[in-house]
Structure 1
Amino acid sequence: MSMPFYVSPEQLMKDRADFARKGIGRGRSVVAVQYADGVLFVSENPSQALHKISEIYDRIAFAAVGRYNEFENLRIAGVRLADMRGYAYDRRDVTGRGLANAYAQTLGTIFSSGGEKPYEVEVFVAEIGDEAADDQVYRLTYDGQVADEHGYAVMGGATEQVVAYLKERYAEGAPLQDAVRLAVAALGHSDSGDRVIPDEHLEVAVLDRTRTQPRKFKRIMPPRLAELLGERGPETPDQPSPDDDAVGGAPSAPATDDPADPTDQVSGGVPPLEDPTTGEPPVAPPADEPPPAQPPVAPPAPPHPGEPPIAP
């Protein structure tokens, strides 16, 4: 009987953590910003069908980055837990802290278990109160750790660059318009330069305590988002990566409209004929140089006496 291969627990946990971090790093960042009337969520999401930001309960929102099927399972489980607790007890008994603790137990159990791979997700759970001081934003990592965030928080993608941008420009108690502009600009910031993300590639939602309905979650649609962002200059979306479906490579040179141009050599076209004596393509005369003069044509010889004239 062969002995099983031994791996130390420290190395096993390190490998699982590296695996989860790589998967999360490939996702696009999600930004959570506390503003005067609630909590704002902004993410770059070109898909119009798959949401990274959703509602859990009346005053609780959920945002995630990583593998969609994994954090969608967490979202559905959170909705069911909140509904059951609110129905069995009272709607006020459903809190963001209780939901974050439930998520932490689930993620921690999956991460420490050797029977399945860890979840490649990070999660935001936010709850708003009657005042700004009562707002709560929790960040949960792949291994079940919980962090209580204040002001702003970022997860997934280029986190360091986005956090550095927000740290320099964040102002507490800002209005919604300023918070949206700051979050969108932070998502487009990178070490190589800032870019303008198209409005249709942004997913924006808020928990707004000023709403009269019990449900405080609201999505900001593109027309309203365009009003909040205003004029931002030309859009510069992400360039397709080598893994994208788009075919890369430099475009071929445009063809010349003049068919008589002997220098027109489009990729895949027919090259000009070669000079049989030198083996080189003929050199075209300059455009402003007149064509060479043709030799004079000798007049026809006069007919022989006695022969009829030749018709021209």
Structure 2
Amino acid sequence: MTMPFYVAPEQLMKDRADFARKGIARGRALTALSVKDGIVICAENQSNTLRKVSEIYDRIAFAGVGRYNEFDQLRIAGVRHADLKGYTYSREDVDARSLANQYAQVLGQTFTHEMKPMEVEILVAEVGSEPGGDQMFHVLYDGTVNDESGYTVLGGEADSIAERLGQTYDGDWEVGDAVKASSAALSGQERTLEADDLEVAILVRETGRRAFQRIEGDELARLLD
């Protein structure tokens, strides 16, 4: 009987991390910004049917980058978890922190024990009654959770996009300012993104229970202009 090849745990984890990062880098990035009117999420997405940004629960949004079928499975699982928890206990018991922890456990378990890790990064965002109460959790492919403040970037070229966005970011922006800044940061200096190239949504601060709204079509084009 032949003995299996030995691979050091450190090398195995490194190979899985490199594999996941390469898969994520092939996708398009997205930004999330906490501004005066709420949390604006802007993703580069030329598809009109495959959504990167979705509503999870009352004042909570989900966004994903990387392999679509994998982060959409996570989105569906999050919706089911939130609905069950809200029905069993109370709607106020459903929050972004607990959802992010659930996602972190699933991604960490997959990264450690499965042959192929999930090639995804996800964002769980919850809008507060004022900017200081906004919560944004960036969950990586290996289950690492980052508690973000102000703004965050997910996906390929995240560092350079975050640097461009950080040069101009202002928490007192209106929605239009946030959309324009996000579009400029995602596109860089060598190209320009039009309304059809973007998927934009906002968690509106003052709408009460249901805060998630999409910005598309003529409304998005006006904001970019």
TM > 0.5 = yes
How far, CA to CA, are the matches of 2:104 and 2:95 in structure 1?
Answer: 14
- The alignment partner of 1:129 has SS state of coil
**Per-residue CA distance 1:130-187 (angstroms, 9 max, x = gap):** 1111000000000000001111111111112211111111112211111111111111
**Deviation of 1:126 (Å):** 0.2
When Rg is computed on C-alpha atoms for both structures, the one with the higher figure is 1
Aligned position for 1:141:
140
How far, CA to CA, are the matches of 2:172 and 2:105 in structure 1?
Answer: 33
Unaligned runs of 5+ in 1: 231-312
Aligned position for 1:120:
119
Aligned position for 2:27:
27
Aligned position for 1:278:
none
Give the structure-2-normalised TM-score: 0.98
Letter in 1 for 2:210: R
Aligned position for 1:215:
210
Q: Is the 8 A contact 2:137 2:148 kept in 1?
A: yes
Aligned position for 2:221:
226
Q: Are positions 1:111 and 2:107 aligned together?
A: no
Unaligned runs of 5+ in 2: none
Q: Is the 8 A contact 2:129 2:206 kept in 1?
A: no
How far, CA to CA, are the matches of 1:68 and 1:138 in structure 2?
Answer: 19
Aligned position for 2:191:
195
- The alignment partner of 1:169 has SS state of coil
What is the percent sequence identity of the aligned residues?
54
Structure 1 runs (4+) greater than 3 angstroms displaced: none
**Deviation of 1:194 (Å):** 3.4
> As a proportion of its length, which structure holds more strand?
2
- The alignment partner of 1:71 has SS state of helix
> As a proportion of its length, which structure holds more helix?
2
Aligned position for 1:55:
55
- Of 149-158 and 23-32, deviating more is 149-158
For 1:281-300, list aligned pairs within 5 A: none
Aligned alpha-carbon RMSD (Å): 0.9
For 1:156-175, list aligned pairs within 5 A: 156-175=155-174
Relative contact order higher in (CA < 8 Å, ≥ 6 apart): 2
Letter in 2 for 1:221: E
Letter in 1 for 2:116: K
**Deviation of 1:116 (Å):** 3.0
- The alignment partner of 1:187 has SS state of helix
Q: Are positions 1:83 and 2:83 aligned together?
A: yes
How far, CA to CA, are the matches of 1:72 and 1:127 in structure 2?
Answer: 19
**Per-residue CA distance 1:223-256 (angstroms, 9 max, x = gap):** 10111111xxxxxxxxxxxxxxxxxxxxxxxxxx
Q: Is the 8 A contact 2:153 2:161 kept in 1?
A: yes
How far, CA to CA, are the matches of 1:143 and 1:94 in structure 2?
Answer: 24
How far, CA to CA, are the matches of 2:122 and 2:3 in structure 1?
Answer: 40
How far, CA to CA, are the matches of 1:4 and 1:194 in structure 2?
Answer: 49
Q: Is the 8 A contact 2:39 2:202 kept in 1?
A: yes
How far, CA to CA, are the matches of 2:35 and 2:191 in structure 1?
Answer: 24
